[in-house]
Amino acid sequence: MTDRRAKGHRISTPALAAVCAALALASPARALPYGVNAHVPDEQVLDALRAAGVEWIRIDFIWAWVEPEQDSFDWQTYDRVVAAARARGLRIFATLAYTPAWATAESPWTGVPRDPLDWYDVCYRAVSRYRGQVEAWGMWNEPNLPRFWQGGRGDYIDRILVPGSRAVRAADPSAKVCGPELAHLQSASWDVWLREVLDRAASFLDVVTHHIYPDGADADSVVRDLVEGGDYPWEPPSVRSVLRDEGWLGRPFWLTESGYEAALGDGAAEARQAGFVSSLLSKLVSTQADVSWVDRVFIYEAADSGFGLLGTRPELARRPAMVAYANAVATLAVEDATFLSATVPGSMRPGESAPVSLVVRNDGTTTWRPGAGHRLEATAEGGAFSVPATGIPVGADVPPGAEAFFVVTLTAPISGVQDGPIGLTWRMSRAGEAFGEERATAVRVSEDSSPAVLLVAGAANQVGLNGTRWRTDLFLHNSGMTLADVAILALPSGQDNSHPRTATLSIPPKSGQRVTDVLATLFGVRGLAALRVESDGGDVRVAARTYTSLGGGTCGQYVPALAPGEASGPNGAIELTGLTRAVDPGAGFRTNVGVINLSAVEVTAEIGLYADGSRYLGRRLADLPPFGVVQLTDVFAAVTGDEVRGGRAVIRTNDAGARLLGYASVVDNRTGDPEFVAPGSLASFGATLASVAHVPGLNATVWRSDLTAFNPGPVAGRIGATMIPAGGGPPLVLDAPLTVGPGETLEVRDLVASLFGVEASGALRLDLLAGEAVIGSRTYNLAPGGTYGQFVPAAGPAAGTTRGVATVLFPVAGSPVRERGFRTNLGLLNLSEVPIDVSVARYRLPGTQLSSLGVRLAPNEWRQLSDVFPAPAGSEEYGFLEIRVLTTGGRVLSYASVVDNVTGDPVFVPGW
């Protein structure tokens, strides 16, 4: 976003007609999907860009607007922009930049942040909020110009690029980290900047981005800057030579700003501008110029200046440059590819072989054919892996918009294994020319690979209130292609766990295992504990169920595994929402809160307790020894004698080096049925509750659903709600949005009846129209003596299964009779606008396939299938389901609900 008016231009005048004629290439060009710099566009601008064939927009994502005061966020502008762009099929590259006044000791916007954690925080929040919607995030704009960045190169790398990259990768591993967005000005030492960034921080980038403007209207000058450089040693080098010297050449490079300024109404200048746009696009896709390493180009800019492709408001008429842009997009035959998924083992042993599956979408304008030389290729760091190129199968043409499914055998090297993961880069090519986006993966090859770690909270082997006896079953599933060696460490509450008891087991590929009453079976431990699960090899997922026997049946809670990366340190907090307490211990609910210390030092945790969202009640302190665990029973009783609705717990520590995980369990005082509450996350556009109900069920059950929404922000939240009912009926749209004030909690009891006035089951889509919200839901059986329920988390907009990727639902269970044991219901929601076919494969433990079920779903259809895991006569079975989408372009959200046939207590099982 350099001020382009400050530059002098030498004018050249290529004939527009001649340039347009040159766009008709004899053979398909390499990929170069087209973008435009749009700043913060409104819907009128977006409509014009989409009509011109623009695929990508680059937007300015301004920190000072989003967080004008510390911890006070306003997302309304970007909620609108992202939703409007996505609705038009535009792909988004957002450049994060510009410091709010509170975060810097220097000038607002351009000053260096005092604390890199402030920058990390806003990056993490932004990327989490727009996960799956914004595909690429830039780290600042033109930091080599003082008018945009007051710090030096070291400040940029240490305080912006590195922490920002870590935040992006933590919040959305599928998103690309882009930078350093340098202005190609020798006076601003662009080459020195680029060399130092790549020398010190190349591993923190997925794409190198750069800005080059022409010498006059001469597109050749842009190409020269890219590939030629100066003739003498004292003249600036080419971009290509710097990338080559630093080992980046051949990796993704985007030209994210280039344009020519023409005064509005100056016919000659506007013709030169149009000629520049046409010529630049044609030259960058030409196979004759050595620019095959340029993967994207973004023209500067959409509107609002002489650089604009559109005229002035309100008409925003197409200028000649926009017409030339649209003609180029429509005329050039372009190869392009986007990787939708890559299933690659996280670790392998030397010499081991494993299949790898990849799904790639044809985003170009040509059809991929076997005889045309379209192939999937991979390169490995240091040539450690030898991966054969895989062509398009005969008879399996891939037209534009369709997907190609590849399976490749990967063999790990036998010798010369390096420490740490080995990078593999996957790309499509045609006749040896790479095109489209690449997908980077990594495989650790070692006889002693570092294990993956997950934590299970709230495991129990103890006697509780009212004669209950609580126990925990542990469930492990290896979705990988190789054997997984698993170590399970017990961390009992109230003691130093620096030297924990450990049990080991092995899980074959594509199989699962249930460890019944895990604390007693593996460790002989009584009481409460956390479990640390370390896996080496394979791809291990972990969950648990903590339960008690009751009247011939059981009631309990599904306990998801927590990752150590979710832990909070001295500068963070763990938020638990949707908590409650009744004054009468024989009615309503109580809340228990647990904390796990992941550090090797003694830690004091502070649990701040609130009612009605933000009304402070008091605090509880908990001292935890190294790797210690504590659970506080009926946590609100110590700070209030009143009823608590809309309760919230905030867990913090001030101890240096501390890392904490937290959870809550909300228990029905009448039935003893608990529900596990994990730390909440902010809802975003398109959050979905996979199951809501106001219906009768089997075995005289009566199903209801409640909704809670906590607003942590400073402005009122507005939430639109649409119910997708079973049976294929039209969606039910709430007439007016739900409103939740700043710091308040909204509770909607029996939401299906109270909001929509119907008796139905289905899914609920929530659209955050303003403010912020942490969403939670509970679906429960309204029994005569209380409730038995399940917590239903909100699924984000990127959730769901696509073709070529399997989702596992584990555990599921079945019984040959309805009077005891369990039954499993399967829920499926078609998230696409086309009919889709879904395969449901049923497996008993450890991994024997029983049968498969085919389901066809209409567009946007929700369906729940009852008792989908019937057990053979005379036995009760545990197992898992594997869900696959068979239709190109389809996406399905799936879940299982495992219901105790005696008590009617359900457990919600999300997909893995």
Q: What is the mean pLDDT of residues 877-887?
A: 89
721 near 709, Cβ under 8 Å?
Answer: no
The closest alpha carbon to 54, from 310, 413, 348, belongs to 310
Q: CA 442, CA 419: separation in Å to the nearest integer? A: 12
Note the pLDDT of residue 757: 93
CA-CA distance, 66 to 75, in Å (whole number)? 6
> In sequence order, what are the residues at sequence separation of 6 or more whose Cβ sits closer than 8 angstroms to the Cβ of residue 603?
597, 623, 624, 628, 653, 655, 658, 660
Q: How far is CA 286 from the centre of its chain?
A: 35
Token pair 């909440």 is found at: 680
Average pLDDT on 88-95 reads 94
pLDDT tens readout for residues 223-272: 999 998 766 566 789 999 999 999 898 788 999 999 999 999 999 999 99
Does pLDDT of 3 surpass 60?
A: no
DSSP state of 215: B
Q: In the block, which residue shows the tokens 């259809």?
A: 861
Task: Give me the mean pLDDT over the 628-645 stretch.
Answer: 93
Find all residues with CB under 8 Å of 522, minimum gap 6, and list them: 488, 490, 503, 515
Tell me the pLDDT tens digit for each residue of 385-423: 777 788 887 778 898 888 888 888 888 887 655 555 677
pLDDT of residue 776: 84
**H-only helix segments in 53-181:** 63-66, 76-87, 116-129, 153-155, 162-171
pLDDT at 137: 97
Q: How many other β-carbons are positioned within 10 Å of the β-carbon of residue 829?
A: 25
Q: What is d(CA 620, CA 592) in angstroms, rounded to the nearest whole number?
A: 12
Give the per-residue pLDDT at 682: 58
Average the pLDDT over 427-452 and give the result: 76
Strand order in the sheet with 337-343: 337-343, 353-362, 403-411
Cα distance between residue 578 and residue 534, in whole Å: 31
DSSP state letter for 384: -
Q: Which of 555-564, 675-684, 889-898 has the lowest mean pLDDT?
A: 675-684
The pLDDT, as a whole number, for residue 15 is 31
pLDDT in tens, 267-293: 999 999 999 999 998 888 765 557 878
State the helix-helix crossing angle for 43-51 and 76-87, rounded to 10 degrees: 30
Please, what is the angle between helix 219-227 and helix 267-285, to 10°?
40
What sign has the CA pseudo-torsion 131, 675, 619, 605? negative
Of the spans 27-31, 70-74, 467-471, 480-484, which averages the highest pLDDT? 70-74
**pLDDT at 24 > cutoff 60:** no
Q: Which of 87-96, 171-180, 181-190, 212-221 has the lowest mean pLDDT?
A: 171-180
pLDDT band, residue 20 (cuts 50/70/90): very low
- Report the distance separating Cα 175 and Cα 91, nearest Å: 12
Amino acid at 246: E
Which tops the pLDDT comparison, 416 or 171?
171
Q: Around Cβ 908, how many Cβ atoms within 10 Å?
A: 23
Assess whether pLDDT exceeds 50 at residue 4.
no
Strands 207-211 and 253-258: parallel
- Nearest in space to 679 (alpha carbons), one of 656, 642, 658, 710: 710
> Across the chain, what does the average pLDDT equal?
86
User: In the predicted model, what is the mean pLDDT of residues 478-506?
Assistant: 87
Tokens of 876: 């009760």
Sort strands 629-632 and 877-885 into parallel, antiparallel or unpaired: unpaired
Per DSSP bridges, beta strands 660-668 and 674-677 are: antiparallel
Over residues 103-121, the pLDDT tens digits come to: 999 999 999 999 888 998 8
Cα separation of 552 and 820, whole Å?
8
8-state DSSP, 432: T
Tokens of 95: 């450049």
Please compute Rg for the chain using Cα positions. 29
Residue 28 has a pLDDT of 42
- More confident site: 761 or 551: 761
Range ranked top by mean pLDDT from 332-341, 525-534, 568-577: 525-534
Q: Which residue has the tokens 């979905």?
A: 688
**Is 78 exposed, middle or buried, given 0-12, 13-18 or 19+ CB atoms closer than 10 A?**
buried
Range in 310-319, 345-354, 509-518, 609-618 with the lowest mean pLDDT: 345-354
* β-bridge partners, 778: 706, 791
Query: Which amino acid is residue 418, in one-letter code?
Result: Q
Read off the pLDDT of each residue in 691-705 and give the average, rounded to a whole number. Answer: 88
3-state class of 359 per DSSP?
strand
Q: Do the Cβ atoms of 560 and 649 come closer than 8 Å?
A: no
| 643 pLDDT tier (thresholds 50, 70, 90) | very high
C-alpha–C-alpha distance, residues 283 and 295, integer Å: 13
**Which residues lie below 8 Å from residue 394, measured CB to CB, with a gap of 6+?**
370
Q: C-alpha angle 86/91/97, rounded to 5°?
A: 100
650 Cβ neighbours under 8 A, 6+ residues apart: 573, 574, 575, 576, 607, 608, 610
Q: Crossing angle, helix 267-285 and helix 320-331, to 10 degrees?
A: 20
Distances (CA, A) of 197 to 137, 251, 411: 17, 15, 34
Tell me which of 287-296, 664-673, 886-895, 900-909 is least confident: 287-296
Q: In this structure, which amino acid lies at residue 223? A: V
* Count of residues making up the chain: 912
- 557 contacts 545 by C-beta, under 8 angstroms: yes
Longest Cα separation, the chain: 90
Task: Give the whole-angstrom CA distance, residue 56 versus residue 230.
Answer: 32
Q: Which residue has the higher pLDDT, 388 or 485?
A: 485
402's tokens: 């369709």
The pair of three-digit structure tokens given for residue 514, joined into one six-digit string: 């249930």
Q: How far apart are CA 376 and CA 618, in angstroms?
A: 59
- Of 635, 536, 501, 628, whose CA–CA distance to 580 is shortest? 635
* CA 607/CA 686 separation, integer angstroms: 32
Q: 842-875: per-residue pLDDT in tens?
A: 988 888 888 888 999 999 899 999 999 987 666 6
Q: Enumerate residues 6+ apart whose C-beta is below 8 A from 675.
A: 557, 665, 666, 667, 778, 789, 790, 791
